[in-house]
Structure 1
């Protein structure tokens, strides 16, 4: 089981954080995510702290779609969850399959991202600066994979050192889901 070991924070100095990331890890990849989260008619997924999403990613010269399922949180402090993800060839067919299985779109929104991929502490890391048009502010997500729950604390410690190095304060960490924040903003 792969676990997404991730920490998310509000960014107080977006330009400074972007400059620090680019100085250390090169130019970030700008991408726009079009996310559709699905749920059962009885909201069984969201009430069980699980997520089912189709994401179409638009970047310079490329568009790709991924189907993601995230299980319930394994770590309340970080919000880290088991994650299973696969690329799909036909976004319209993937949406039709989920609807045909009885899932309904629960919420859709866009994320404007700048992604940085790098190695740190012997791990592959992804740092993403995020703007959601419907929300105030900029966020940063830093993630790596943990293979087991036992490995999760070590993975999260490595993620935290990246955030600290970017000047992110512990008080700026958040586990609020974008889905909840966007729903509240609407």
Structure 2
């Protein structure tokens, strides 16, 4: 399956939050993400991602292991995604290190997730703050087959418009790259 997703910088977070609350019940969660790669950054070079995400929610803590393949849509950055829940986060981290992967970057995302139906699709909207970055982001995604990515992204754009997000608010900025750049800049200035 392809994760057809668009991300935007949110200019009016309170307004977007209000609109999302009208669509579905929000769920506050904190993600602790660790991205792995080979020592020579082979996954990054192929536009692939390997991530362990531990999600701390109000009722439970769960961990997901995710592999994302290379982009199938350049404009949105949508990728094939394979994800599974894992029972023991520390065991998965140890396995990946044992296989020769190294942590490339780890950071926290503070999220409010909304799951709802729109345009005949299941959608997941995530309002995101990354403490190391300025601003608020909105990610809106739906799962689809590769042949239907363009149509799915059109549906995502329509829902984003209903949430007050304009085309010029869309971004392909990646948290991993932006956090890395921010950390390098801080290290260089100190």
How high is the TM-score relative to the length of structure 2?
0.95
1:170 deviates by 0.5
Counterpart of 1:129 in structure 2 is: 127
**Equivalents in 2 of 1:91, 1:23: separation in Å?**
35
Two-structure CA RMSD over aligned residues (Å):
0.6
1:23 deviates by 1.5
**Equivalents in 2 of 1:169, 1:184: separation in Å?**
26
Counterpart of 1:173 in structure 2 is: 170
Q: Deviations over 1:127-158 (max 9, x none)?
A: 000000000000000000012x2110111111
Q: Deviations over 1:70-119 (max 9, x none)?
A: 00111010000000000000000000000000000000000000000000
Contact between 2:23 and 2:116, CA under 8 Å: does it hold in 1? no
Any stretches of 5+ residues in structure 1 without a counterpart? none
Tell me which stretches of 4 or more aligned residues in structure 1 moved more than 6 Å. none
* Equivalent runs, 1:69-84 vs 2, <5 Å: 69-84=67-82
The match for 1:114 among 107, 112, 115 is: 112
The match for 2:137 among 136, 139, 142 is: 139
1:24 deviates by 2.2
How high is the TM-score relative to the length of structure 1?
0.97
Any stretches of 5+ residues in structure 2 without a counterpart? 184-190
Please state whether the residue corresponding to 1:141 is helix, strand or coil.
strand
**Equivalents in 2 of 1:47, 1:182: separation in Å?**
18
1:47 deviates by 1.1
Q: How many residues align?
A: 183
1:177 deviates by 1.0
